[in-house]
Amino acid sequence: MKRLLIVTAVIELGAGLVLMCCPSAAVALLLGSPLEAPAAVTLGRVAGAALLALGVACWFARHDAQSCAARGVITAMTVYNLGAVVVLGVAGLQFQPVGVALWPAVVLHAIMTAWCVKALLERPTQIAEKTK
């Protein structure tokens, strides 16, 4: 679980920083069109702050990857990643053309969803044995 938490932290911290600094460019890479309205840019930055918060939670949870709190963080990341697969996948099927990063993002979130589910299905004793 520790490796999952570290990888997730790095990905979400990076995505959060990009969305906070240049939300329009990030959305253009995903959806093929930039954010133009000030309200949309603001909402993009709020999404970036949320991703930063998820990244920070994962980063600190890595210190105690066997705890109930860490499992809670991974459960939350499972919900987030699955939601991202659905939302981005539907956008990709409905919008044409799409940005160059959309389908790679869908695949990345699908892989992260599967990794989170696998980690949650492992018994704590299996996890403890792997860390020895």
Angle subtended at Cα 90 by Cα 107 and Cα 99, rounded to the nearest 5 degrees = 65
How many other C-beta atoms can be found within 10 angstroms of the C-beta atom of residue 3? Answer: 11
Query: Does the global pTM surpass 0.95?
Result: no
Structural tokens at position 75: 């459960």
Position 131 pLDDT exceeds 80: no
- pLDDT classification of 128: cutoffs 50, 70, 90: low
pLDDT digits (tens, 9 = 90+) for 56-106: 999 999 998 888 999 999 999 999 999 999 999 999 999 888 899 999 999
Element of type H or E holding 15: helix 2-21
CA distance 48 to 6: 18
> What CA–CA distances, in Å, run from 81 to 35, 73, 87, 109, 132?
22, 12, 10, 5, 29
Who's near 65: CB < 8 A, 6+ residues apart? 1, 2, 5, 127
Phi and psi torsions of 35, nearest 5°: -75, 130
130 — pLDDT class (breaks 50, 70, 90): low
Structure tokens at 83: 């939601």
pLDDT tens for residues 18-57?
A: 999 999 999 999 999 999 999 999 999 999 999 999 999 9
Is a pLDDT exceeding 70 seen at residue 127?
Answer: no
Domain boundaries, the chain: 2-131
